[in-house]
Structure 1
């Protein structure tokens, strides 16, 4: 880590006015940790309140001082001096009318306004109400969580959908701000928490992990037996471990570890599908692990190159040597705030409570980015973007036009980070090679649904980075690039000559983002880190279980935290690009996926430290059966007003009896029409056809020339006055644009390209197609 005085926060000088008061204060927290000056504002008639502050809000606001706008002139002056305004007034409410966002937009055309609401503002659903269970239901996440025959299981984290949506909102705001600095034009972003959660937590039509065995996430349902085979959790002497056997090499390591048993010597077990469907193999592994401790299995697994992680409780994860050494948490006294847990009614705490809070989830230039580590003197407010302003724009209404990104990312985090840049207008060049293909590709001669979702709007160049000639060509690409994205194990990028220390000597303005399971330092840095292993080691898997079935872990069919970690990486890159406009130099960002996940449990960690009592529900809450097979509806009754509204719909009947007589969608519509938060538990196949997502143009269907069938893909990213829908560039085959890019970006002639292809330095789609399968 560098000394604090060497650290230049990338968003230093950016001024943000924040009118949020609930879980979406997480947007301001992300921006503040990257150096922005956040001013929470109390505005009479809009958000001013004497109510106690929920614990999660207090954590998000630590280190910030609330400003009261005393009169219209004072408020107008604050707006004139701001770069971003974040607001969350309820649509069609008196507060929305009092704030008058449209009037603010007219009076301050350079201001970036992030207007947050549960269901968006340009839809007939704008007055619907959301809560965590409702959001989980309507994103389809709940349809993949839990044991068949039982109610779906709400994942850990009281505000998890809001926290992941906040990362997406922050990406949108900073991308538009970066564009504002070269165009002078602000924007009004209509941000829906539901859309943000759907795209960022566990998207049904996004990229899926390699253990999906060819089954698209949109086709996966709760299947307890399949889940146990997919990412098996094995009981051992002192708890449980999770083991991943995704590659042939990993299986061969497991085979050696087991002692080369004859019953599994058949080459058929080299097949991922065979391993994922073998009950006999799972049983043998279970018997092998039964008399060993978690620590022994972790050590032996790593030695045999078999990804293995202990299933830790959250407390164990926080006490681990790795988390301690990484310094993720610091004790902070939350001053001048009356704390009350968001779900508690009588357990109020006094001022000055000391709790552990995350010290940022991104490292910038080797320094943990946080308000707790920012230099006291901020930079000057950014005025213009001279570097990007000199770039040629296509004028297609996309904020990142003119940027070039070199994408070395793989699997879900890698694919999504680059895809975000491509969807927002950047020229994204995927550098890859068939010797180590992206695990999402599968068959190199075709395009799967998940690959189409994660790699659209990219071009592919085949380069062998293992040899000096290949690295030299990649370095020539870096000369004209702005961002390089990687998500290898620590040390791999350096071995390939694509780490920041190497690339900044070639291009001082380059921004390099690396994302890994556990971060670039610490005892776990070199672990093979798939999402399920990260969840196990970070204490999330242990909490993703029914209260009465603590060893029935239900987190197998999810790709969390991959998609949200990708947003954090993209946000860090955009922030560094903004700093580059001020300093002329680039920078490095590192994201530890485990820390992103643990940060989402900050309120629960603080509540445990404060010994807050368990929540006692005074009103109906939960998941209730509806008419039909595996049909459920999530209902949250937050207070007495909701309870009265509920009774106007269901009368004096028990809620479970009433929902059982209605379809999930019908029950949802009736309850929401009365103002009660409710959401049908949508299956993935239902999502694109629900009227809300249709109104919001959330999906589109594409027929890829190398695909097996039409694909449903996400569509709109930023919904605003100025930003267009994503381009229609389809995911490339490996090396599909090698010749085009070698000529365009490297200036090579046809004969030179032919020589490099013949030598194996460059690789074209024709070569890949000719390889034996």
Structure 2
């Protein structure tokens, strides 16, 4: 099918990946790139990966859709020549081969780039090309454990619980895609390509539930690194409540939401005190409130509860199963899934892409290729010329230098989209107002900016505008005229109600790229529902999967902020694609990101299988359905656990030998994968008995040394001591006024030859840069700005004397300070 109109139409990508790394070029294929999958003659391993349906791997079908495919034997000179002929005229190469393999064959990144000087090559491996973990085996369970996200997942007082699917590495793969696009954009400006070394582990550590990143409300305002070991009981934050026919989930944040619930309860005297309008009082008395609400809901269906709540401004969502979500009118109206041929003769429901572009879905176009289906493939379309082929600027470049982003985003997904673009070099201007304060600023004071806001909004400027006033709107439009990107994550229709929808903005600036990031999408019956992340997870069926499978109500997603961070990365990737496309057309576009569809896309294998084999998408806990042993096993220390993933008989033999039980490898009950799955409980008991008296890191190192994937389930406060992250320079700090010491943050995970790194800078005070931005960017005179301020159309914020410091140079990389200070 045609890719005309998609922003990456004409971009050429050679894909030497497999497994979850293949999601990166798949994301680019969705956005229009011509991606050619290069496989060995026997096919990539994922062609044989479970789950299978009638001999078809659903992993392969999902990961490699929208691509063409050729089979090449790199062990022969002819095969190597064929690969290099493809890379000679490619724009991008993604590879996930064993470290050093391509170089040993004589077709490594250096050889590719010597022949094609503006080629960008991205290596995406489990742990990167360098560092003490370089040769470690990864996997979703191991990656999540080492990222620290695992120890924050699971029900209170239970063992850690692996989130469903491959959420950590799926999110990491999307980030890898946008780093490839960032390097491509830079290569087209300079005429010089690049080599980028990326690690799924490092990306996951800062992309899924980052231990040093912007946190959600479940931390109760505390830094994640200050949380004690274990999984605290925070069910009162986003409580799950029984109804007559299931469960609903709610969030009562604002006083008006509480008052609406109080009215619904019949205005009980015990909750009448005004202090109950404060969230802290409700948390303290949650048990009594919960019992009252449960009595109210006992004879009502989930649909009745949700309908009443929506009509009265109460955030509420049904706890759907995946099948219920897929069958809903909302999902059908949005075409979030499409019934399509995923292999010759096999039709199934397929997640229909991460984003919409100008209200058209950038989703599934064609099935994954048969082996060598496109033998002799040649590139389609014409190659774009570099934007700046004379190479007037030498040396590393910031990929988004010279671009301006107007950031109206709020809370996590809004903040993080702009923060990543700022880290890539854009001038990100946060547009905000005291009248409608970003929730992340709720604990700001005159002495300091809140910690969550500081982390998620570092490197930005802030301008205060009242967008409900005519003069404020006019000022915003003048900023749009001088900008490249606008970011929003308001309730759908908000910008249109202000007269600032995409049609109005592109009339001012046809090149503007606008991102609308919402919970459930900008159209459909559920589009106007309140968009808190936990309610999204409940609506799409994720919460019902994120549960300890041995009980009906031990849900494990109370602490996560997924899909906020993931949706932010999707938005960044779509922006980078739109900017690449704009180089040819000169025209911007509207990008729609629905967090609901981010979940569908990242769990696409499970949803497709559910459409073919109903009932298969259900809670699995820490168990890999097709392999054993896989799980989280106890170790010494408070909340001590280690993740172990054995995926073949050789690894089982190595584990058994390390346990001092080589006999287990030949025991008929355990010798084969199928036998171990049948005796899973016994196998798990044997492994747990061996791990229990050891430290988690010791088990990890022993097993990785013999080729078995294992990772300590670390806590957020352990991250800064991780030897791989230290070796690869993954920490920095910002000097944020009002804090006793610098705030430690994750830094750019891309190890690149030609991408410059932006200096770390602090987050802004509210409206700190209003005067400068309105004069320098919008073109107002100083007198006009003062008039805007006097009228209330523009806002400024005074800070405590001496508290503000320059945003320039207010940060350090991990090489410049001891993070243990």
1:515 aligns with 2:547: no
TM-score by length of 2: 0.86
Tell me how far 1:323 sits from its aligned partner: 0.6
1:750 aligns with 2:782: yes
| Residues 89 and 96 in structure 1, CA contact (< 8 A), matched pair in contact too | no
Partners of 2:480 and 2:752 in 1: CA distance: 32
Partners of 1:382 and 1:324 in 2: CA distance: 37
| Residues 404 and 481 in structure 1, CA contact (< 8 A), matched pair in contact too | yes
Q: Match for residue 668 of structure 1?
A: 700
| Residues 516 and 591 in structure 1, CA contact (< 8 A), matched pair in contact too | yes
Alpha carbons of structure 1 residues 462 and 378: separation in structure 2 relative to 1, 3 Å: farther
Alpha carbons of structure 1 residues 603 and 546: separation in structure 2 relative to 1, 3 Å: same
Tell me how far 1:718 sits from its aligned partner: 2.0
Secondary structure, aligned partner of 2:259: helix
Bigger mean CA offset, 15-24 vs 502-511:
15-24
1:62 aligns with 2:62: no
Residue deviations 1:684-730, cap 9 Å, x none?
10111111111121122333113465322111232211223332221
Partners of 1:708 and 1:234 in 2: CA distance: 41
| Residues 35 and 371 in structure 1, CA contact (< 8 A), matched pair in contact too | no
Alpha carbons of structure 1 residues 696 and 767: separation in structure 2 relative to 1, 3 Å: closer
Q: Match for residue 350 of structure 2?
A: 357
| Residues 140 and 683 in structure 1, CA contact (< 8 A), matched pair in contact too | yes
Bigger mean CA offset, 480-489 vs 92-101:
92-101
Secondary structure, aligned partner of 2:68: coil
Tell me how far 1:757 sits from its aligned partner: 1.2
Tell me how far 1:303 sits from its aligned partner: 1.2
Q: Match for residue 334 of structure 1?
A: 342
Partners of 1:134 and 1:215 in 2: CA distance: 26
Secondary structure, aligned partner of 1:461: strand
Secondary structure, aligned partner of 2:778: coil
Alpha carbons of structure 1 residues 5 and 258: separation in structure 2 relative to 1, 3 Å: farther
Candidates 575, 578, 582, aligned match of 1:576:
578
Partners of 1:248 and 1:155 in 2: CA distance: 32
Q: Match for residue 18 of structure 1?
A: 15
Q: Match for residue 71 of structure 1?
A: 79
Partners of 1:161 and 1:99 in 2: CA distance: 30
1:603 aligns with 2:605: yes
Alpha carbons of structure 1 residues 456 and 489: separation in structure 2 relative to 1, 3 Å: same
Partners of 1:434 and 1:291 in 2: CA distance: 42
Q: Structure 1: any 5+ residue segments left out of the alignment?
A: 336-350
Residue deviations 1:19-44, cap 9 Å, x none?
11212211122111111111001257
Partners of 2:35 and 2:630 in 1: CA distance: 35
Q: Match for residue 621 of structure 1?
A: 630
Bigger mean CA offset, 523-532 vs 65-74:
65-74
Alpha carbons of structure 1 residues 760 and 391: separation in structure 2 relative to 1, 3 Å: farther
Partners of 2:558 and 2:615 in 1: CA distance: 30
| Residues 500 and 588 in structure 1, CA contact (< 8 A), matched pair in contact too | yes
Alpha carbons of structure 1 residues 50 and 391: separation in structure 2 relative to 1, 3 Å: closer
| Residues 515 and 591 in structure 2, CA contact (< 8 A), matched pair in contact too | yes
Secondary structure, aligned partner of 1:465: coil
Alpha carbons of structure 1 residues 330 and 661: separation in structure 2 relative to 1, 3 Å: same
Aligned residue pair count: 746
TM-score by length of 1: 0.92
Partners of 1:254 and 1:97 in 2: CA distance: 66
- Structure-to-structure mapping, 1:2-13, within 5 angstroms: 8-13=5-10
Tell me how far 1:758 sits from its aligned partner: 1.5
Alpha carbons of structure 1 residues 280 and 708: separation in structure 2 relative to 1, 3 Å: farther
1:139 aligns with 2:147: yes
Alpha carbons of structure 1 residues 293 and 392: separation in structure 2 relative to 1, 3 Å: farther
Q: Match for residue 532 of structure 1?
A: 534
Q: Structure 2: any 5+ residue segments left out of the alignment?
A: 50-55, 73-77, 368-378, 617-623, 665-685, 802-821
Tell me how far 1:257 sits from its aligned partner: 2.1
Partners of 1:518 and 1:391 in 2: CA distance: 44
Tell me how far 1:378 sits from its aligned partner: 6.8
| Residues 213 and 273 in structure 1, CA contact (< 8 A), matched pair in contact too | no
Residue deviations 1:53-109, cap 9 Å, x none?
742222222343311345333322211110010101111457864542232233322
Secondary structure, aligned partner of 2:333: helix
Partners of 2:646 and 2:366 in 1: CA distance: 40
1:556 aligns with 2:558: yes
1:714 aligns with 2:725: no
Secondary structure, aligned partner of 1:13: coil
Bigger mean CA offset, 729-738 vs 266-275:
266-275
Alpha carbons of structure 1 residues 331 and 47: separation in structure 2 relative to 1, 3 Å: closer
Secondary structure, aligned partner of 2:515: strand
Q: Match for residue 429 of structure 1?
A: 429
Secondary structure, aligned partner of 1:315: helix
Partners of 2:582 and 2:107 in 1: CA distance: 34
| Residues 149 and 630 in structure 1, CA contact (< 8 A), matched pair in contact too | no
Residue deviations 1:327-354, cap 9 Å, x none?
111122233xxxxxxxxxxxxxxx6332
Bigger mean CA offset, 412-421 vs 619-628:
619-628
Residue deviations 1:107-151, cap 9 Å, x none?
322111110110011212100011111111011111111134432
Q: Match for residue 344 of structure 1?
A: none
Partners of 2:70 and 2:186 in 1: CA distance: 28
Partners of 1:644 and 1:518 in 2: CA distance: 47
Partners of 2:364 and 2:576 in 1: CA distance: 18
Q: Match for residue 250 of structure 2?
A: 243
Candidates 87, 109, 112, aligned match of 1:101:
109
Q: Match for residue 189 of structure 1?
A: 196
Alpha carbons of structure 1 residues 225 and 110: separation in structure 2 relative to 1, 3 Å: closer
Residue deviations 1:352-390, cap 9 Å, x none?
33221112121101101124299xx9763322237xx99
Candidates 118, 126, 133, aligned match of 1:118:
126
